[in-house]
């Protein structure tokens, strides 16, 4: 996947509630389903699309945010597998396994890479398990990213990831869903769990002193999706404190090691920041 353009598609509104996996609540919008909508998937419903209607008024090219983010993630994974030698990934707040999945990207470089997907949306669990049921190098867990203890100390993951060896935690487009207190606490707990030489990938909505950031922040909140915090550079750099930044540092997402698929004309270029960092050995 290149993830280089918007492609919102039709959803699955004709599906009966009884046909949905257990726990899926169509009475409330879901971030995982909205994100799938942005990326051109089919796992979304009217309530999800309505939740972002106000945000679309602020940023008509809203879905480009998701594409730019996914595009950065693709480049970061390729770097981590091909250049940094990482063979184990924990994808926290992974989203629906529809477009450009971490294991697909990683396996293009090395088929032996292991990936743990963690999300608290039951639709992610259902799709992930259906898609990856025969796959012995992926694990899909239903868990709250804030509960780092349950994730890192769970028996399933302990039998799957070798925490004595370097691994990478992917925390892309997840910290902006938490208020400040929670976001820094989660980042700290993740960093505390990193083995020396392990990596973290972080991306977030960015408030780079332009009115769209604040307006979109408010529109997400009003849509009932919870927090979608656009944070300033200085606020976000704190997430990486104590770690060693990989070049080129914490930058606009499209400026992180761009390749031939990276958009050069993104209308939301200044609204997303991303970086990769390593726990020094
Ligand atoms: C915007 S998507 C990001 C997907 C992916 N990380 C990426 O960057 O492309 C955010 C995902 O985080 C999940 N999520 C939100 N809050 C969560 C929490 N507290 N625990 C686990 N997952 C969460 C949502 O269900 C959704 O699938």
Report if residue 101 sits inside a domain: yes
Report if residue 11 sits inside a domain: no
Report if residue 4 sits inside a domain: no
Q: Work out how many domains the chain is built from and give that number.
A: 1
Cβ neighbours of 281 (radius 10 Å): 9
Grade residue 131 by pLDDT with cuts at 50, 70 and 90.
Answer: confident
Closest CA to 80 of 106, 50, 48: 106
Q: Which ligand 1 atom is nearest residue 70's CA?
A: 9
Percentage, residues of the chain above pLDDT 70: 96
Mean pLDDT of 96-102: 83
Predicted pLDDT at 4? 46
Grade residue 1 by pLDDT with cuts at 50, 70 and 90.
Answer: very low
Model pLDDT for residues 166-181, shown as the tens digit of each residue? 999 999 999 999 999 9
Model pLDDT for residues 240-260, shown as the tens digit of each residue? 999 999 999 999 999 999 999
Q: Which ligand 1 atom is nearest residue 171's CA?
A: 6
Asked whether the beta carbons of 198 and 276 are under 8 A apart, the reply is: no
5 pLDDT above the threshold of 60: no
94 pocket-lining for ligand 1 (C-beta < 6 Å): yes
Q: Closest residue (by CA) to atom 27 of ligand 1? A: 95
Report if residue 152 sits inside a domain: yes
Range of the domain at 142: 65-212+226-278
Q: Closest residue (by CA) to atom 24 of ligand 1? A: 32
121 pocket-lining for ligand 1 (C-beta < 6 Å): yes
Model pLDDT for residues 23-81, shown as the tens digit of each residue? 888 899 999 999 999 999 989 999 999 999 999 999 999 999 999 999 999 999 999 99
Structure tokens belonging to residue 4? 């280089």
Report if residue 7 sits inside a domain: no
2 pLDDT above the threshold of 50: no
Q: Averaging pLDDT over each range in 13-22, 126-135, 227-236, which range is the top one?
A: 227-236
* φ, ψ dihedrals at 129, nearest 5°: -70, -35
Report if residue 57 sits inside a domain: no
CATH code of residue 121: 3.40.50.150
Report if residue 250 sits inside a domain: yes
Which stretches of 114-259 are DSSP H helices? 122-131, 148-153, 155-158, 180-193, 211-222, 233-237
124 pocket-lining for ligand 1 (C-beta < 6 Å): yes
Ligand 1 pocket: which of 31, 65, 66, 203 to mutate (most atoms within 8 A of CB) = 31
Report if residue 30 sits inside a domain: no
Q: Closest residue (by CA) to atom 2 of ligand 1? A: 95
177 pocket-lining for ligand 1 (C-beta < 6 Å): yes
């Amino acid at each position: 996947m290149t993830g280089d353009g918007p492609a919102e598609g039709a959803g699955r509104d004709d599906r009966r509630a009884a046909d949905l996996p257990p726990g899926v609540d169509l009475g409330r919008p879901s971030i995982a389903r909205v994100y799938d909508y942005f990326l051109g998937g089919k796992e979304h419903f009217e309530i999800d699309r309505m939740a972002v209607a106000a945000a679309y008024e602020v940023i008509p090219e809203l879905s480009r945010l998701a594409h730019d983010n996914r595009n950065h993630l693709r480049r970061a994974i390729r770097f981590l597998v091909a250049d940094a030698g990482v063979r184990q990934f924990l994808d926290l707040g992974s989203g629906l396994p529809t477009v450009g999945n971490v294991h697909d990207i990683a396996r293009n470089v090395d088929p032996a890479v292991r990936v743990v997907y963690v999300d608290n949306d039951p639709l992610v669990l259902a799709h992930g398990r259906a898609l990856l049921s025969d796959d012995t190098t992926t694990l899909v867990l239903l868990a709250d990213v804030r509960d780092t203890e349950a994730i890192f100390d769970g028996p399933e993951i302990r039998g799957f990831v070798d925490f004595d060896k370097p691994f990478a935690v992917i925390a892309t487009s997840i910290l902006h869903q938490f208020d400040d207190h929670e976001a820094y606490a989660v980042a700290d707990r993740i960093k505390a769990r990193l083995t020396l030489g392990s990596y973290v990938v972080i991306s977030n909505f960015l408030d780079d002193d332009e009115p769209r950031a604040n307006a979109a922040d408010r529109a997400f909140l009003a849509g009932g999706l919870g927090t979608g915090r656009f944070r300033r550079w200085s606020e976000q750099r704190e997430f990486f404190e104590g770690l060693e930044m990989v070049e080129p540092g914490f930058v606009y997402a499209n400026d992180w090691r761009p390749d031939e698929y990276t958009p050069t004309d993104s209308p939301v270029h200044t609204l997303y920041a991303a970086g990769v960092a390593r726990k020094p050995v």
